[in-house]
Structure 1
Amino acid sequence: MADEIQNAGAAGAPGGERRGRGGPGGGRGRGPGGGNDRDRGGRGRRDGNNPVEAAGEELVEKLVHINRVSKTVKGGKRFGFAALVVVGDAKGRVGFGHGKAREVPEAIQKATAAAKKAMIRVPLRDGRTLHHDGYGHFGAGKVYVRSAAQGTGIIAGGPMRAVFEALGVADVVTKSVGTNNPYNMIRATFASLVDQTSPKAVAQRRGKKIADLMARRGDVSARVAEADAEAMA
């Protein structure tokens, strides 16, 4: 009888292996050795999934405008900052973004992230200028852009210059009328860039050869047109 009582006491002791709850070795415990323990660090899996950062691209970032903003809430006014940023790879891709935050660095960071997500590709002639003249408008702002000869430089001011520098354009002539608002000027400039089309795209759409389109110009011979077509292909 004494042996049975001793065995029962050993089975019910705190160190028994029947049903441990919370102990380091418990089968159902939530302690360090618990079977149902979950890794609380799972939220960090999203880090490094940004396609722009993963690609390792070297982008040109231009801070175009920053201004102070306010929001009226129940307790009064809450002040912050708004930033306008242009981002490009200087190889035919460019985008702009707008961000607001309580502090200037955070607003710039948000605007830069938005610009990277909204980048567009613009075809360039010889990698230095536009293929043809263009026009864009947004609100009261109107923008005219023209292709230029080599050595002309970027004839543009303010926000428009930042766009063409980030885009990688070396020669262009622009004109802006109607507004000095940097947001409207940027959007109007992008409206003019979206309409840019290369001769290669026009030839594919019409089912013709690039040389045939280039030779229709009065000052371009067939031989020169073929050379230009081979360079664009």
Structure 2
Amino acid sequence: MDVARVARVVAGGRRFSFRSVVVVGDKKGKVGVGVGKGADVSDATAKAVADAKKNLITVNISEETIPHQIDGKFCGAKVFLKPARVGKGVVAGGVVRSVVDLAGIKNVTSKILGSANKLNNARATILALKKLKTQNKKAKITTKKSKPD
């Protein structure tokens, strides 16, 4: 998803390494984001894939979309996700599209506000998807029991 050359300053100058951000998913409700750092791109990517597999989450999907509107915030990044009707498709940009596609969500609209940092936007999307409730749980939360007179 993203590879960046990063540097640390030491007495003799700058030492360069690579940071890789990877999203993995099975398109059946599991998705994860991982970060890896290494001396070359392949090391960083391998570490990022291993990290993403450790951080897999399960996403509640109903009828190829999300059950309700949700938002996620991570650092300066804000991501809003809204369910969409069947046939609308994924209306999302950049990282959010990658995350929801790999999660198996086929109909959703989204908006990214704040940061353009790919890592922070990916983490904000994951936090939003973690907040999702199933339709039954949402119904139980929103309905109140009435006392008989």
**How far off is 1:192 after superposition?**
1.0
Query: Is 1:150 equivalent to 2:86 in the alignment?
Result: yes
Correspondence list, 1:163-174, <5 A:
163-174=99-110
| 1:138-182 Cα deviation digits (max 9, x unpaired) | 122111100000111110111111101110111000001111111
Higher strand share: 2
- Which residue pairs with 2:136 in the alignment? 200
Q: Distance in 2 between matches of 1:165 and 1:199?
A: 21
Tell me the secondary structure at the aligned position of residue 133 of structure 2: coil
Please point out which of 50, 61, 67 is paired with 2:4: 67
Larger relative contact order (Cα-Cα within 8 Å, sequence gap ≥ 6): 2
Instruction: Give the aligned partner of residue 76 of structure 1.
Output: 13
- 2:52 is equivalent to residue 108 of structure 1: no
Matched ranges for 1:156-195 at <5 A: 156-195=92-131
**CA distance in structure 1 between the partners assigned to 2:135 and 2:119 by the alignment:** 31
Name stretches of at least 5 consecutive residues in structure 1 with no aligned partner: 1-63, 207-212, 214-233
Matched letter for residue 57 of structure 2: I
> Which structure has greater helix proportion?
1
Within 1, Cα distance between the matches of 2:137 and 2:53?
A: 25
Q: Which consecutive residues of structure 2, in runs of 5 or more, have no partner in the other structure?
A: 144-149
Tell me what 1:138 maps to: 74
Larger displacement relative to structure 2 (72-81 or 152-161) = 72-81
Using the alignment, how far apart are the partners of 1:82 and 1:140 within structure 2?
Answer: 20
- What amino acid sits opposite 2:100 in the alignment? F
Counterpart in 1 of 2:29? 92
Which TM-score applies when normalising by structure 2?
A: 0.89
Count matched residues.
Answer: 142
Corresponding letter in the other structure for 1:70: A
User: Which one-letter code corresponds to 1:114 in the other structure?
Assistant: D
Matched position secondary structure for 1:170 = coil
How far apart in 2 are the matches of 1:83 and 1:66?
4
Aligned equivalents of 1:108 and 1:89: distance in 2? Answer: 18
Specify the SS of the correspondent of 2:72: strand
By how many angstroms is 1:199 displaced?
2.2
Identical aligned residues as a percent: 39
Note the alpha carbon deviations across 1:110-156, whole angstroms, 9 max, x for none: 00000000000011002x11000001111221111000001111101
TM-score (structure 1 length as normaliser): 0.58
Alignment-mate amino acid for residue 48 of structure 2: A
- Displacement of 1:202: 4.6
Deviation at 1:194, TM superposition (A): 1.0
Between the aligned partners of 1:124 and 1:165, the Cα distance in structure 2 is: 12
C-alpha RMSD over aligned residues: 1.5
Matched residue, 2:58 = 121
Structure 1 stretches (4+) deviating beyond 4 angstroms? none
